[in-house]
Amino acid sequence: MNSSKKMLVILKELIKVLGDEKQVLIKNDAVALAGIVEKKNGLIGKIEEFKGIDFSQDEEIRGLAGQINQLQETNLLLTKQALGFQEQIFKALAKNNTSRYNTYSSKGQMYGQKEVSIVDQSV
- What are the boundaries of each domain within the chain? 3-95
Between CA 98 and CA 54 the distance in angstroms is: 61
Cα–Cα distance, 33 to 21 (Å, whole number):
7
Digit-by-digit pLDDT tens for the chain (123 residues) are: 688 899 999 999 999 999 999 999 999 888 899 999 999 999 999 999 988 888 888 899 999 999 999 999 999 999 999 888 888 888 877 765 554 555 666 676 665 555 555 555 665
Within 8 A by CB and 6+ apart from 7, the residues are 47, 50, 53, 55, 61
Q: Is the pTM above the cut of 0.85?
A: no
Query: Is residue 39 a contact partner of residue 19, using CB atoms and an 8 Å limit?
Result: no
Q: What is the pLDDT of residue 77?
A: 95
Give the CATH number of domain 3-95; options: 1.20.1070, 3.30.310, 1.20.58, 3.30.70. Answer: 1.20.58
Three-state DSSP at 104 gives strand
Can you say whether residue 122 is alpha, beta or left, with left for phi > 0 and alpha for psi between -120 and 50 degrees? beta
The per-residue pLDDT for 112 is: 56
DSSP letter assigned to residue 94: G
Q: Read off φ and ψ for residue 114, nearest 5 degrees.
A: -75, 140
How far apart are alpha carbons 77 and 73 in whole angstroms?
Answer: 6
